[in-house]
Amino acid sequence: MKALFLRSLILSLTAYLTLTAHAQQEIPSGWKLGSQAYTFRLFSLEETLEKLNSIGVRYVELYPGQKITKTGDATTHFAASQEDKDKIKSLLAQYDIEAVAYGVASPSDEEWPDLFAFAKEMGIGILTTEPRPNQFDLIEKLAVEHQIKIALHNHPLPSMYWHPEVPLRFLEGRSELMGVCADIGHWVRSGLDPVASLRKLEGRIISLHMKDLNKAGVRDAHDIPWGTGNCNVAGVLHELNRQGFEGVFSAEYEHNWENNLPEVKESMDYFKRVAAQF
């Protein structure tokens, strides 16, 4: 009897752990949880993809200027040669990771067509940017032509787009392909409530740069694992779920640069535990 009881207990515990692990992997349909490659800026794209693959991440946001390989000097700038673009695509395929966004890139008028052409060839659907005010007609035209989304990014105060009211004014009457990349950490650095900011931008949120910070209202605050800081990550996810948001979450962990992969994984595990409640 005792042996049967123990066997039953073990089976029940195993089933519980299996179901729990499965639940932690489920996130709402349409949510893509990935990483900004800038999280690993001390490393090449090749090493970045290797790291992300090791923790099961399938999406990445590229940024201009990262070295492509461990040994070469070529970078992920949108003016990359065809050979270098082919290398980027090869590495993405090798590690089974999709490039879903690119930025922050804010080129000159002459360079914008090249940036869109790069994104089109790489299969990238979102350009994260902080454009000059006189560029909106140009980038809207290109966005519609290429069917690529424009996401206005917010650096902290005194950056132009630091407050959600600013991109809303610029986006009024513009194509639905144009919206925002909400950097919740930079909002907190600027003393803003990220949940209230998301509510203001409902319907215009394309993507997010996800952070959690050790301090609020302080520009030099640094990243800590999600759910342990001042960004109310759980509240952010609940608000986005209420809005019916579908889009990209890019982890942008700008601390402990030499070895932050464990903290990125911890953050993503927290994200999945919260999202599994929806």
Residues 200-236 pLDDT 10s:
999 999 999 999 999 999 999 999 999 999 999 999 9
Place 25 in a pLDDT band, splitting at 50, 70 and 90. low
Query: What's the N-to-C CA distance of the chain in angstroms?
Result: 41
CA 229 – CA 58 distance, rounded (Å): 26
Residue type, 209: H
Report DSSP letters for the chain, one per residue: -HHHHHHHHHHHHHHHHHHHHHHHH---TTEEEEEEGGGGTTS-HHHHHHHHHHTT--EEEE-TT-BSSSS---B--TT--HHHHHHHHHHHHHTT-EEEEE-S----TTTHHHHHHHHHHHT--EEEE---GGGHHHHHHHHHHHT-EEEEE-PSTTSTT-STHHHHHHHTT--TTEEEEEEHHHHHHTT--HHHHHHHTTT-EEEEEE--BSSSS-TT--B--TTSSSS-HHHHHHHHHHHT--EEEEE---SSGGG-HHHHHHHHHHHHHHHTT-
Residues 238-264 pLDDT 10s:
999 999 999 999 999 999 999 999 999
CA 122 – CA 119 distance, rounded (Å): 5
Place 9 in a pLDDT band, splitting at 50, 70 and 90. very low
Phi/psi class of residue 211: alpha, beta or left (left: φ > 0; alpha: ψ in -120 to 50)?
Answer: beta
Strand-pairing partners, residue 36, are: 61
pLDDT value at residue 3: 52
C-alpha count within 13 angstroms, C-beta hemisphere, residue 130: 13
pLDDT value at residue 274: 98
Nearest to 203 by CA among 174, 160, 233, 231: 174
Do 239 and 197 form a contact (C-beta atoms < 8 A)? no
Cα–Cα–Cα angle for 126, 129, 135, rounded to 5 degrees: 110
Q: Which residues contact 97 (CB under 8 A, 6 or more apart)?
A: 34, 49, 52, 53, 57, 58, 59, 60
pLDDT value at residue 194: 98
Q: In this structure, what token pair is assigned to residue 138?
A: 């140009």
> CA of 105: how far to CAs of 131, 184, 221, 250, in Å?
8, 19, 24, 15
Phi, psi dihedrals of residue 253, rounded to the nearest 5°: -100, 105
Our measurement of the distance from residue 5's CA atom to the centroid of its chain's CA atoms, rounded to an integer in Å, reads 47
Whether omega for the bond prior to residue 164 falls within 30 degrees of 0, making it cis, is no
Residues 152-210 pLDDT 10s:
999 999 999 999 999 999 999 999 999 999 999 999 999 999 999 999 999 999 999 99
Do 112 and 138 form a contact (C-beta atoms < 8 A)? yes
